[in-house]
Amino acid sequence: MTTSYLDLNAQLAILGKDGEIQTDKDKEAARQYFLQHVNQNTVFFHTLEEKYEYMTENGYWEPFRIPFDDAKELFKYAYSFKFRFPTFVGAYKFYTSYATRTFDTGKYLERFEDRVVVASIALTGNYNEAHALIRGILMGWFQPATPTFLNAGKAYGGEMVSCFLLRVDDNMESIGESIKHSLQLSKRGGGVALSLTDLREEGASIQNVPGASSGVVPVMKILEDSFSYANQLGARQGAGAVYLHAHHPDILKFLDTKRENADEKIRIKTLSLGVVIPNITFELAREDKDMYLFSPKDVFNEYGKPLSEIGVTRHYSKMVNNPRIHKKKINARQFFQTLAEIQFESGYPYIMFEDTANNTRQTGKKIIQSNLCTEILQSSESTLYDTDGEIFFLGKDIQCNLGSMNIDKVMEFPERISEVVYSAVNALTKVSLSSNLGIVPSIEHGNLSTRAIGLGQMGLHGYLARKHVHYGSPESLEFVHAYFASVRYHALAASVELAREIGWYEGFWDDAERIKEQLAKYERNDYSPISEAGKRLCEGLYIPDRYDWISLIEDIMEYGLANAYLLAVPPTGNISYVNGATPSIHPVTSPVEIRKEGKMGRVYYPAPHLSKDTLPYYKDAYELGYKPVIDTYAAATQHTDQGLSCTLFFKDTATTRDLNKAQIYAWKKGLKTLYYVRIRQQALEGTEVKECLSCSL
């Protein structure tokens, strides 16, 4: 009698007779999944011609953008790899999340190779570029984010874009348009983050009527309902986040919405929360002083700038002493205590370190918020409306186009890193250029102006374990510095090459001196490893020296950059499973991860290269503690022009003081953002974790 694929997968939780983890049983589970389920539920076609005709005529695929004979060669090339999913979960995730199915969802119409080819043709429109992208994906070097891989080349469905960021100004026209735009963007499959910092607080006056304002919480409730309603054809739940500045008068009410015992009238269940914290808040807490909260309406009236743009650290004393700005005060340490309490209960809020993010930015405009997964840090401009809701100044909001390289797989062929990075940057730039989001003019304007992309990374812990190196060790940090510096160099070089083809992004010459200033450290510092262990980790990887950087910076100043933003490290979820990688650059939560997958129940995902030999190097995130994680992210942050999704993990013995210590440590180490807080108790028994469904998938 044949063993079911679920039973085979479950044997990962049981050690074999020799004490080995039974990863061979999981590979057999993947094979049996095809035999017992996939093959029986896949529509069979005799030829590619027959399949193409069926898929295009029935509205599943868009017509290919290259000659059919060229496409046929690409399909032949893709199938020559004889791709096999390394794990059962990887195969399961592909067929449940990505493969095109008949409209009644009863039968599969694509294999992995089909999805790769169709997406690659759609992303490039060019035989040679598609060939390179197919190679990169099937070799495991690069994987587009979920919306891109899911929707590219399909005749229906959502956009290929992962996430969007919207500014909300302090007037009903902006609030109303932001809600409408959130519905439209969520419908198209993207996660949406909104900055509420500039909305006047509860009890503020409206048109000289005292106490008329309801503050930010009612807007949050409307947004939460909007995201619950608008999903991508029912395939993915809408995902939204709201950010508020720590010195906004509604900040405690904002945080209280996530308390488990909050009144249902204000409780926020599914909307993600983020807090923007400037340096001054930490300084006040260190000195055990009160922190003042400033009325956004009064700040704008006094300075002609909204609170989000004012730079609270710089102007704090001046605003405290200004009698025309209404303010109230709370104890700074109590604020951080409340922050930690809410994180214990819910994992929220995310944190953006305002001054760190802005002191290292490459563009001239202030960064006021991040996204659902805290890796996007870009400038934006408000859209201005007249009283009839018509636009009289079109601002710039943010979309980002994401994909991630697999460090473990790339380092099997480190000499090809330039090729991999160029192919990825080119593909993600094509996503930006092919977006069709005129329904939200500010997003379209911002995207066309910046061509922003976010090339991320995953598989770090898998690579370190394969090399028998502990996560967070000095030699691992040497590798992170060298690897991320190399990726940044090649990404910038790719953007220069694209600029010579399609021109520089709008505003490049306004940013040129700041870019040159931010890259000057590569002329001064050598990021090559010093230790022998670090050198072994970097074996075969070309690490650009100061002369390479000098030459590249000269090219940038001559030809410009095609992209205002190039690098961001999202959390990665489903794409890590499909790719057979450890997620993002954080440590594993368990060498064998337990997941709950709806009706499927528990499934098990083994870390790459898992064996008795590598198991000691797979110390899990809860046991490692926050310092090795923050140290790793701090090293990578120095070579990333945007942010990184850094989740912090704590044992169930942790206290709110431990969370506050971690926040301070992250701030001092130069992180720009913090993502979720996870307590081990929340992760026991395979408890399902609901994370951002845009970047992390």
Distance of CA 30 to CAs 39, 101, 149, 189, 266, Å?
12, 20, 21, 29, 45
Distance of CA 77 to CAs 86, 95, 145, 162, 423, Å?
20, 22, 23, 28, 17
49 catalytic per annotation: no
Tokens 């809701």, residue located: 389
CA distance 578 to 582: 11
Please tell me which residue in 151, 371, 426, 563 is annotated as part of the active site: 371
Is residue 161 within 8 Å of 399, Cβ to Cβ? yes
375 catalytic per annotation: yes
Burial class of residue 689, CB neighbours in 10 A (0-12, 13-18, 19+) = middle
- Closest CA relative to residue 672, chosen from 696, 621, 636: 636
CA distance 137 to 153: 16
Residue 34 region, left (φ>0) first, then alpha (ψ -120 to 50), else beta?
A: alpha
- Closest CA relative to residue 109, chosen from 151, 52, 36: 52
373 catalytic per annotation: yes
Is residue 452 within 8 Å of 563, Cβ to Cβ? yes
Strands 272-277 and 602-606: unpaired
Q: Dihedral of CA 535/538/542/543: which sign?
A: negative
Is residue 82 within 8 Å of 23, Cβ to Cβ? no
Please tell me which residue in 110, 354, 375, 478 is annotated as part of the active site: 375
Strands 602-606 and 673-674: unpaired
All residues at 6 or more sequence positions from 42 whose CB lies less than 8 Å from its CB, including other chains: 107, 108, 109, 111
**Helix (H), strand (E) at residue 143:** strand 142-144
- Torsion, Cα 474 476 478 484, to 10 degrees, reads -150
Is residue 693 within 8 Å of 191, Cβ to Cβ? yes
What are the structure tokens assigned to 269, written together?
A: 């269940």
- Torsion, Cα 427 429 434 440, to 10 degrees, reads 140
Catalytic (active-site) positions: 371, 373, 375
